[in-house]
Amino acid sequence: MLKSLIRAFSRRRNPATIEPTIVTRDGHNLSRRDISKAALTVMRRLQEAGFEAYIVGGGVRDLLLGGHPKDFDVATNATPEQTKRLFRGARIVGRRFRIVHARIGREIIEVTTFRGHHTEGDDKTAKQSEEGMLLRDNVYGDICSDALRRDFTVNALYYTSKGFEIHDYTSGIDDIERRLIRMIGDPATRYKEDPVRMLRAVRFAAKLDFDIEKKTAQPLAELAPLLRNIAPARLFEEVLKLLMAGHAERTFELLVEYGLWQHLFPQSAAVLDDPVAEKLTRQGMRNTDDRIRRDLRVTPAFIFATLLWPALLRERDRQLQRGLPEIPAIQQAAQKVIGHQMAHTAIPKRFILTMREIWDLQARLPRREGKRAQQLMEHPRFRAGYDFLLLREESGELEAGLGEWWTRYQEADEDEREAMSRNVRDGGPAKRRRRRGPRRKKSPSGE
């Protein structure tokens, strides 16, 4: 349907003049009713001030695919300073490329100035590393250069309220029809400019259920080590986008397929040859996707706890072989595994604390006798620890049974809980402690 409409109401771009394909209002399914009012306000205010302004990127792409995007970005020929003056409370952010956050009511709309090619800048506006990574990229241009500087063709679509047209400079609409993720320009060069684009290629392919175009996919495995040049804090944020968007399992598969996973989670990659570890990792991703579909809370701490758990078990076994008791062995292994991961993704401290509590509960949940079960129920991370226990049983790491016990315990009343705790001791029946009566004093005669 989309393709036939495009053919009827568009004109093909001429590569010599780099004119856009223009899809008129009758030729697309994008409606202003589906666009954030804040984004429309930003676009209108820029236009009223004499600037060009377009809604651009994923918002346009997703609307053409029948989705309901939450975020909309605006591109303009106004400089960041000019844009900032038009919106009360607006802020200029970013160092590598400066953008404006314009606040409209409760919404924040990201406004970018049309980008030019970085080779056209000077030392103050453009800087590139020896490996080709862009360190500074504040070179401005026009809409055509901006389109060519974007990463993928499906993200280089511009919607304007003037005539309600979509402007396409890179055949992005054709690639939407073909369901392809295609890099604009030479893929290897673009990945070197910003290695995070490799992760974005996978993320969009998983989210949209698109294929990665052959030339776009070809350099991924070879250039994957460039991810080590990205700041761990930025990679942490990118991992959240990858795994907390409702497509974690498919994203995981693609990251492994293209050799990217090992540069994000090297310890996880090292144990995926173990079927149980691979199943637990995959099941963790599947459960995350299910919770997101059901609008349930998902925390990065649980995801990272899942991904690093098989590596923790392997390290724990090493510590046990050195003679450490179980609990200290787990604690020592946790410290080592987290420390190693921090070199790749900088996990915030608040998530590390939760991860460790989830892991510590795995050694405590089997100990349910007496008042321990009720005390564990009152632990602030009990629910996360319980869910993690179920995940371990689903993966086959543990035999089923303990999770079912805890499920019944949560549903039981006070008397039933007391009986359940009385009849269990570290996985088996509780042994009654013999009550000793008061000692009898010996008589002076010794009788």
Crossing angle for the helix pair 414-422 and 402-411, to the nearest 10 degrees: 150
Q: Which of 62, 137, 146, 151 is catalytic?
A: 151
Catalytic residue status for 186: no
Catalytic residue status for 71: yes
Please state the separation of Cα 281 from the chain's center in Å: 15
d(CA 33, CA 44): 15
- Neighbouring CB atoms inside 10 A of 428's CB total 9
- Quick one: which of 291, 278, 215, 212 has its CA closest to 247? 291
Q: Which of 73, 137, 146, 175 is catalytic?
A: 73
Q: Which residue type does 275 have?
A: P
d(CA 99, CA 101): 7
3-state secondary structure at position 165: strand
Catalytic residue status for 142: no
Counting beta carbons within 10 angstroms of the beta carbon of residue 290, is it exposed (0 to 12), middle (13 to 18) or buried (19 or more)? middle
- Cβ contacts of 124 within 8 Å, gap of 6 or more: none
3-state secondary structure at position 55: strand
Phi, psi torsion values for 430, nearest 5 degrees: -75, 135
d(CA 220, CA 158): 28
Task: Give the single-character DSSP code of 363.
Answer: H
As annotated, the active-site residues are 71, 73, 151
